[in-house]
Chain A
Amino acid sequence: DTAVSQTPKYLVTQMGNDKSIKCEQNLGHDTMYWYKQDSKKFLKIMFSYNNKELIINETVPNRFSPKSPDKAHLNLHINSLELGDSAVYFCASSPLISTDTQYFGPGTRLTVL
Chain B
Amino acid sequence: AQKITQTQPGMFVQEKEAVTLDCTYDTSDQSYGLFWYKQPSSGEMIFLIYQGSYDEQNATEGRYSLNFQKARKSANLVISASQLGDSAMYFCAMREPHSGGGADGLTFGKGTHLIIQP
Could you tell me which A residues sit within 8 Å of B by CB distance? 30-31, 33, 35, 40-45, 48, 50, 55-56, 58, 88, 90, 92, 94, 96-104, 106-107, 109
Contact = CB atoms under 8 A, between A and B. Distances in A.
A45 B106 contact: yes
Contacts of B32: 98-99
Between B31, B53, B104, B111, the greatest number of chain A beta carbons within 10 A of the residue's beta carbon is seen for B104
Contacts of A45: 105-107
Main secondary structure of the interface of A (DSSP, over half): strand
B103 A94 contact: yes
Contact of B103 (A31, A43, A58): A31
Interface of B: 31-33, 35, 37, 39, 43-45, 47, 50, 52-53, 89, 91, 93, 95-98, 100, 102-108, 110-111
A66 to B, nearest CB: 12
Nearest to B46: A104
Given A35-B106, A42-B110, A98-B96, 17 more contacts: A33-B105, A33-B106, A41-B39, A41-B89, A42-B111, A44-B108, A45-B107, A48-B104, A58-B105, A94-B103, A98-B95, A101-B33, A103-B47, A104-B37, A104-B45, A107-B43, A107-B45
A106 B111 CA distance: 18
A90 B45 CA distance: 9
A73 to B, nearest CB: 17
Contacts of A56: 98, 104-105
